[in-house]
Structure 1
Amino acid sequence: MKMKRTLTAVAGLSLLPALALAAPAGADEPEQQWRGYWVDAFNVGVYTPEQVTGLVDDAQDAGANALVVQVARRFDCFCNDALYPRTDAAIAAAPYDPLAEVIDQAHAAGIEVHAWVNATTLWNSATPPVSADHAFNAHGLTETGADRWLNKRHDGVEQVGTNTYIDPANPAATDYIVDAVASITSNYDVDGVNLDYIRYPDFNSGDFQNDWGYSETSLARFAAATGRTDIPEPTDAQFSDWRRDQVSNLVRKIYVAMYDVDASDRLSINGITYAYGPASYGGWENARPYANVMQDWKGWLDEGIVDTVTAMNYKREWMPEQARMFDEWNTALAEYGAGRHVVSGPALYLNGIDDSVQQAHDVVDAGLDGWMGYSYANVSLDATASADPAVKEAERDALAAALRADVFTTDADVPVMEWKATPTTGLLAGTVATSGVAAAQVAVQVTPVSRPTDKTLGEAITLQTDGSGWFAAVDLAPGTYRVQVQNAGTPGFTVVRVKAGQIAEADIRLRAPR
């Protein structure tokens, strides 16, 4: 495995040049189009070296160029060298390392590997994890206050069945996730990270509201941010915006942390596409990803804090209304790309092979950057209905043959991230602390200036620190910036130089007023 330098703290960011990714263009180069499978870790695929060999062979047969392999299901890891503890699942005994094995075999076949990480799903069993270090044991039902990372619903529920989730508004929990992701990208030669469950949970009392976010820590931080003393309702607009911001803060922090470790790694997120597309609801903010689970993936594309949205466009082609939903979301993806990549991910397990081929055609016809099937384990209705491995394998072979014959008739490369291959903008990140204490939820003004006069050259942007006093901006034009804080005790500022493809540090240390 390729060792990458370890990120010891997100705030300690180096000025890391972006790596050149693109080879000179040639007339005979393959087209650029993402083609891949999600490979879930609840089924066969990565449990043994032999399964990995079969996985890679099947991917080649389908013309796939990317595998999104589930590495972290519930704060565990199908790997041996990450902050997350090694999974309790029945994988081959150590020293077998599923992630390392997939990387070795897939890269040898010219296939990219993206580590699929469930960001907020904590645990789902009456039996606790074996490792004492697992977050469920260290920060679950036995803990109190800020050490209790569990999300809580408006009705007081923390467990749905045995399912538990972390609260994106808990700073310690989210910093742990950031460091865990960084440990994977530092220690393994992955091509990227794919975030799932990067949102608030389901199990809500309505389709256009979210009932979660009522942990003690969350409510205290919301009160501190707004000055309110009431407990907001799930439909409260200010509370919904604030919760949405907590998820966006986590995405932003992961993006910058990954960039600091290896600028060539791709951050993709699994975008929710519940029900109809935005066109049926009067716009993005009325659609269910934004309104129901607090996931603003359109905003993340606009800001540039994700490289790719892999939309979980799980619809049944053989049901006319769901076929319409599928098309509406493809249209939205094409509209929302904002210069990043957008990939539509059909639910193979909900469709027959002919319908999946039709959906693959629809994805290509929509002008999207690629297709990714969910999932490798069950590629059709027949595969899902059968417990026979031979049936599942036969269905994989049939789908691969149909896709190659009718849709993906020539080879393709994963699309180049031009914004990283030849960067024209830079990043800025830092922390604010007052007398050594993190200044959470304070405004940070970033203004382009000339030196040495400090003359303002353009409009300022206003950022806000997260629960750990951290802030960042991406896609900044190269130049000099004044970074100023005014509402964290005494005013303070620093001046930094932003360079294309690099992260500029902008830490501000203040003293509390006497």
Structure 2
Amino acid sequence: MARVATVMGLIVLIGQFVAVYATQLSPKVDDAQFRAYWVDSFGPGLYTEAEIDQLVADTKAANMNAIIAQVVRRGDCLCNRSNMPRTEAEIDPYPFDPLQTLIEKAHAAGLEVHAWLNATIMWGSDIPPRDPAHVFHTHGPGSSGYENWVSLRRDGANRGANVFFFDLGHPDAADYIVNMFLSIVSTYDVDGINFDYIRYPDYNPGVNIPAWGYNPAAVARFWAATGRSDVPEPTDPDWMQWRREQVTSIVRRVYIETYAIKPHVRVSADTITYGSMSENAAEWTQTRPYLEVLQDWRGWMEEGILDLNIPMNYRRRQEPTDANNQRPMYEEWSGFIKDHQYNRHAVIGTALYLNPIEDSLSQIRNALSPSLAGNRAQGWVGFSYRAPDRLVNERRRQPEEGRLELTRALTQSSEYDLLSDYDFARMPLFAVPASTPIMPWKLQPSTGHLHGTLRTPEGTVADQVDLIPGDYRLSVVITPEIGTASAVVTVVAGRVIPVSLILSR
């Protein structure tokens, strides 16, 4: 049987192609449960060996099993071996390597390390980076023509607040972002790689108006793909979908190329939950994540290009009588997340920094409870290690005091648990340790993946995941004038099959 699939604006005809989309059933729940802190690097936590020792001890004491550590903030790395320069943060001097040190100490304690990268932030200060090799100097706002990778807003602005963003529609910028991730996967023994800011920027003129992505190289590619010559408005449907595909393409490439390097590495993303959400799947395309920042994370889960989705369901848990009650939004999004895992995993991310301890515990219990359809998330992640509750965030007490109280509440005490809200066992949430969930699609794979590279001036990539093993003919037609390409490939379960295509007329 023949099937037609659109990849990166190309028409790809794949013989014997069978779409492997799972029904909306959550994986079996057992003693495994993903439990983690997000550890940001805009403050203490990863700067010294002593801080890392304390981080590992605190995570272990809370019966958590993973650390999601922000190693890439704005085009630099809290590491010594990547395609990015070493961070300007006040870390201990070289040869200290924060990521390597964390991996060694966390693994010795039985904890996983997931490297968190801000994917699209090039730089975030009015003061340029000190390192001349930083991408800001080579492809930032001072670069001309095609060498400038900075995203522009429709009104011509090249930054939001003081943040410069990569334009995801510029092919060289997209390649650079992919290589940021692969350089860490290749050189460090990480358990996971974590996307943040994998979307178009905020700082838009209004709700659901995605005004970024107007780098001239990106607009020219859109023209080439559509045959148009006008500058599209931000809400133009074709322009929105084209930009959405640029985001998805980067996620897909990182997923497949990470699998080819180290199949066991868990690929995750911190995804957006702006606004309200119904548990009705048909309403997904009307949500702010989909429309405003052009992030189709439900589609990523359905396609299978994430192992772990971590929606940032950041809400205050207020009483129903409060004027700005955010509890319904939290519960609606949690239900939607649990019901849309497909053949992968999702965990719920909550905002520890916005809530008192008792409210965070209530949100965590909700995160670990089944949805109305009976589906469960595979765990929970809290933001953040540095601000574990509202009092700390408001600088009314020290982080150490907040973490100690949170740890006690999670592992020993039900003093703060509002257990009447959810039908849950009357015991601490993390009374005993748990392992992280296995990934059966990687541990015992029944499908393979295709990594196709088409040799054009843009080096176009045509990737497919979760293909049933067998022989396939891959045929690509751009236009009759430009040319076609084809190849026969054999897909093998558990492997990434590379195929390089050359255009011919």
Q: Tell me whether the two structures share a fold, i.e. TM-score over 0.5.
A: yes
- Residue 396 in structure 1 maps to residue 403 in structure 2: yes
Q: 1:370 aligns with which of 361, 379, 392?
A: 379
SS in 2 for 1:200: coil
**AA partner of residue 393 (structure 1):** E
Look up the match of 1:482: 473
| Aligned residue type for 1:153 | R
Q: 1:494 aligns with which of 487, 491, 496?
A: 487
Aligned to 2:4: none
- The DSSP-based 3-state class of the residue aligned with 2:104 is helix
Task: Please give the per-residue CA displacement for 1:277-331, whole angstroms capped at 9, x wherever unaligned.
Answer: 2448961000111011000000000111111111111000125431111111110
**CA distances 1:338-392 after superposition (whole Å, capped 9, x unpaired):** 121101010000000000000110011132111000000001011111276xx21
Are 1:225 and 2:225 an aligned pair?
yes
Structure 1 counterpart of 2:107? 107
Corresponding residue for residue 359 of structure 1 = 363
Q: How does 1:418-457 map to 2 (within 5 A)?
A: 418-433=440-455, 437-438=456-457
Q: What's 1:384 paired with? A: 393
The aligned amino acid for 2:432 is T
Q: Quote the residue 2:181 is aligned against.
A: 181
Question: How much does 1:222 deviate?
Answer: 0.6
Name the residue aligned to 2:436: 414
Shift of 1:510: 2.3
State the distance in 1 between where 2:102 and 2:310 align. 21
Shift of 1:491: 3.1
- Unaligned runs of at least 5 residues, structure 2: 1-28, 371-375, 413-427
Share of identical aligned residues, percent? 42
Q: CA RMSD in A?
A: 1.5
**Structure-2 separation of matches of 1:346 and 1:75:** 26
1:219-247, CA deviations, whole angstroms, 9 ceiling, x for partnerless residues? 11111110111111111111100000000
Cα distance per residue 1:33-76 (max 9 Å; x no partner): 10000000011111000000110111011111010000000010
**8 Å contact kept, 2:353–2:389:** yes
Paired position in structure 2 for 1:460:
none
Question: CA deviation digits over 1:249-292, x for unaligned, max 9?
Answer: 11111111111110000110001011212448961000111011
Q: 2:501 aligns with which of 495, 503, 508?
A: 508
Do 1:196 and 1:269's aligned partners in 2 also have CA atoms closer than 8 Å? yes
Shift in Å, 1:335 = 1.2
Distance in structure 1 (CA, Å) of the matches to 2:30 and 2:152: 49
Indicate if the aligned counterparts of 1:483 and 1:506 stay in contact, CA closer than 8 A.
no
CA deviation map 1:186-223 (0-9, x unaligned): 11100011100000000111211201111111111111
**C-alpha displacement of 1:415:** 0.6
Which moved further from structure 2: 279-288 or 309-318? 279-288
Q: Secondary structure at the match of 1:373?
A: strand
CA contact (8 A) 2:308 2:344 kept: yes
Q: Report the Cα offset of residue 407 of structure 1.
A: 1.0
**Is the 1:32–1:414 Cα contact (8 Å) retained in structure 2?**
yes
Contact 2:353–2:388, Cα closer than 8 Å, also in 1: yes
Q: For 2:113, what is the secondary structure of its paired residue?
A: strand
Change (3 A) 1:475 1:280: closer
**Cα distance, 1:122 vs structure 2:** 1.1
Matches within 5 A, 1:231-380: 231-279=231-279, 283-318=283-318, 320=320, 321-366=325-370, 367-380=376-389
The answer (yes or no) to whether the contact 2:160–2:202 under 8 Å persists in 1 is no
**Contact 1:278–1:332 under 8 Å retained in 2:** yes
Q: What is the distance in 1 between the residues matched to 2:463 and 2:357?
A: 45
Question: Unaligned 5+ residue runs, structure 1?
Answer: 1-28, 439-466
In structure 1, the residue matched to 2:418 is none
Q: In structure 1, what is the Cα distance between the partners aligned to 2:311 and 2:244?
A: 18
User: SS of 1:105's equivalent?
Assistant: helix
What is the aligned counterpart of 2:461 among 464, 470, 477?
470
What amino acid is aligned across from residue 501 of structure 2 in structure 1? I
Alpha-carbon offset, residue 487 of structure 1: 2.7
Contact 1:278 1:287 in 2 (8 A): no
> In 1, distance between residues paired with 2:177 and 2:492?
28
Q: State the 1:183 CA deviation.
A: 0.9
Secondary structure of the residue aligned to 2:334 is helix
Q: For the residues of structure 2 that align with 1:123 and 1:138, how far apart are their CA atoms?
A: 12
Is 1:30–1:413's contact at 8 Å kept on the other side of the alignment?
no
Mapped partners of 1:163, 1:300: distance in 2: 27
CA distance in 2, matches of 1:413, 1:279: 29
Q: Is the 8 A contact 1:169 1:243 kept in 2?
A: yes
- Cα distance in 2 for partners of 1:219, 1:55 equals 45
Contact 1:31-1:411 at 8 Å conserved across structures:
no
Task: Indicate the SS of the match to 1:415.
Answer: coil
Whether 2:121 is the aligned partner of 1:121: answer yes
The one-letter code sitting in structure 1 at the alignment partner of 2:473 is: R
What is the aligned length?
451
Aligned-partner SS, 1:143: coil
Query: In 1, Cα distance between the equivalents of 2:207 and 2:285?
Result: 13
